[in-house]
Chains A and B, each alone.
Chain A
Amino acid sequence: MFDFMIHGFDVALTPLNLGLALCGAILGTFFGALPGIGPINGIAILMPLAYTLGLPAESALILLAGIYTGAEYGGRMSSILLNVPGDAGAVMTTLDGHPLAKKGLAGPALGLSAVASFVGATIAIIGLTLFAPLLARVAVMFGPAEFFALMIFAFASMSVMMGSDPLKTGIAAVLGVMIAMIGVDSSTGVLRYTFDMPELYDGIDFVVLIIGLFAVSEILLMLEQAARDGVTDMPAVGRVFVKFKEVIACRGAILRSGFMGFVIGTLPGTGASVASAVAYTTEKRINDREGTFGEGDMRGLAAPEAANNASAVGSFVPLLTLGIPGSGTTAVLLGALMLYNITPGPMMFSERPEVAGGLIASLYIGNVVLLLLNLPLAGLFAKVLTIPRWVLVPFVALLAFVGVYQLHSDPIAIYTMLAVGVFGYVLRKFGFSLAPVILGYVLGGLAEVNLRRALAISGGSPDVLWASGISIGLYIAAVALLVAPWLIGRLRPRKYAD
């Protein structure tokens, strides 16, 4: 049964393919690390190159898959070092990653997140090898109604992030949902909040939103600070490497998040951002007894990193088994396969075993390469913080500007990004945190689209929403998430008198 894997390693271990896996991993790490350039752009840029070089299909795919998984590794760097997510899956990484860097623990944070990414991806690759056909069947059982229930569950799990100021978190999430409503309504084609500007027809792009909210507002905060009391630099980088003990302390978070990230990744339409959000909030609920999450808790860093890598691998499940892309990036990969006259789907494992097996084998190899690459690099990258922030942040912003412009070929995208940045700055000045805005945007958009689809299927009857066992289970889990802390608080005898 696993003949294709043996064959796959044969393919993946040829010098050319090993080299390409390495090359993809390195390039991917950089694409991920640069804000504004994510795996999608990276693959889109290199796809024609791979084709023009005349690489065989499996080699091209190995290179592109290396970029994809590498980007999920790289995305964490600017999250941790600069509080600017490198890509969509790395938004939650800022929450505990950057505070760690502020404590002078950038090196260990980078090292730990590399290990977490490795373990998360490994769990997912093993899952992909063993259970892909089975999971593909489960994934198609998720229809619009089930996705809507999943989004409700995700919103409920967000409630843990409310923390000290539930009202502000709620408002921030609602703002995110409102931003998600801008643009062409996907069901009927009606224009919403576009003010007759074609540039707004597709809504506010995710990359533009992230870069604006995080990077531009960061620069504005820095400017303000510099004008007031001069530029303050980050604390000196202390210890460079992560201790084994620290990794072990996060084992639960990493394993759980890796598993969850993989399962969420296999569902078409939910990506690394949803996976890392659910993983982070779950860990916060399980582990955050001392209220250290959000202030630089290692587990809060490990969870989203394990989850986003696992989800990237998970999104290969529907691509390889059903020919359905599980994420935006795998949609581009599907296009790459088409260039080679390979249509992924149920027949790929039997008809082109060297492609399917080679790809999966290269994921194993690429993952090890990425760990070996990222552990020593952690120290090097942590040194980035020794560069004065007045150089570093504008430099990153410059790259972001170029990235956003390249994505849209239109200065409007840059103006939008600046406007969003000012908006983010105002929010931060008023003490709102930005992650709930992003989550509201992602989850709200998905919830709306799937609710509309479910109602379109049923002809308007809401019964469809609780017609399946999956949906009901998710609603029960959502209610349990909301009620449990309160219930446990009531039932458990108080140990400490307040």
Chain B
Amino acid sequence: MQEPARRGAARWWRVASIALVAIALIGCQKQVAGDHPECIAPAKPGGGYDLTCRLLANGLQKTGLMTTPMIVSYMPGGIGAVAYNHVNATRDHDGDLVVAASTGAAVNLALGKFGSYDADAVRWLGAFAADYGVLVVAADSPYKTLSDLVAALKKDPGSVVAGAGGSIGSQDWMKIALVAKRAAGVAPKDLRFVSYEGGGEAMGSLLGHHIDVFTGDASEMAGHIGSGKIRVLAILADQRLGGVYSDIPTAKEQGYDIEWPTWRGFYMGPNVTDANYETWVARLKKLAATDQFKTMRTKQGLFPEARFGADFDDYVVNQAHEFEALARQVGLK
């Protein structure tokens, strides 16, 4: 009784599936042909790299610097390691592909976490935004200033529990390690450090008094400043930041030479032509200078930064070398 209907349905579905496969294949073809510029966020959707790519894609579209919309795709794995290897191995000459990166990539390159490739394996394009490290405690914490924290660390490095979204050896750990090493003069390996699945979880642990210090980034603090629940002991920038952050002292002001800026930028494959590379450098430079982009950047809680082209390339390679020395210094390598 049901047979004819079922056969009809089967035929319909067969046609539909073939059509879908065809569409999918055409879609793939398009992606391979690369007639759309693409930004790889080397992470899952929603994180900082996603934000960096979107800032670029939306910015280029809004300012009219590029007419074809940019595709944002995701390639999670090893905080960027998978994408770094992928670009070096298979998409090394794709002139329409940029990959989001940050200071974190330089740290991981320094620690050898990006496999066999070095910092100079790719063409660093530029950085158009920055964030700054912060040291945050709960409002009722005994540490009123950075000096209180340093004194406590000096007395007993194990008495302070710090935590953040990164693991031991990550940028977030480096911040407290620098405080231990440079300010308190104690060995960073004696520190207690708890790593969470992202800044949000660590912030929750701080509010619940499970950790004493949260070593996050300034952009994460925008909604918490003024809530009366936390106190930012220091901002790790060379000078005070504006807006809601204007009341927060830098570490420098308090007598400690500790800075931790985090740039957000991009790299391209190693065998991209000079013409393609220069086009992108120019595009990025132009974008970073527009008012529209500056508004978008502020909206995301990020701060100005402008390093492009060969300048930036040198900067990142040097930074990776510096981090390598630092890693040795603090006992990571």
Contact = CB atoms under 8 A, between A and B. Distances in A.
Interface string B63-88: 00000000011111111011011100
Contacts of B205: 140, 143-144
Contacts, number: 186
A186 B194 CA distance: 10
Nearest to A341: B299
The contact size tier of chain A is: 35 or more
A187 interface: yes
A458 to B, nearest CB: 8
Given A51-B58, A143-B208, A184-B78, A324 B200 contact: yes
Given A345-B223, A456-B194, A339 B9 contact: no
A190 to B, nearest CB: 9
B45 A196 contact: no
B299 A339 contact: yes
A187 B203 contact: no
Contact of B6 (A185, A328, A386, A395): A386
A133 interface: no
A248 interface: no
A198 B193 contact: no
A476 interface: no
B72 A187 contact: no
B196 interface: yes
B161 A346 contact: no
Q: B-side binding surface: helix, strand, loop or mixed? A: mixed
A335 B76 contact: no
A90 B203 CA distance: 29
Contacts of B82: 198-199, 201-202, 410
A315 B309 CA distance: 43
Contacts of A44: 45-46, 50, 74
Contacts of B167: 184-189
Nearest to A145: B210
Contact of B77 (A198, A343, A344, A449): A198
A238 interface: no
Interface stretch (B14-22, B252-260, B267-275): B14-22
B201 A386 contact: no
Contacts of A341: 299
Interface string A121-147: 000000000000000000111111000
Interface string B190-209: 00111111101101110111
Given A187-B168, A453-B196, A457-B161, A345 B224 contact: yes
B244 to A, nearest CB: 10
List of 4 A-B pairs having minimum Cβ-Cβ separation, nearest first? A343-B223, A201-B78, A44-B45, A143-B210
6 contacts: A48-B57, A143-B205, A144-B210, A198-B78, A324-B204, A456-B192
Interface of B: 2, 5-6, 9-10, 13-14, 17, 20-21, 24, 40, 44-47, 50-51, 54, 57-58, 61, 72-79, 81-82, 84-86, 111, 113-115, 158, 161, 163, 167-170, 192-198, 200-201, 203-205, 207-211, 222-224, 226-229, 299-301
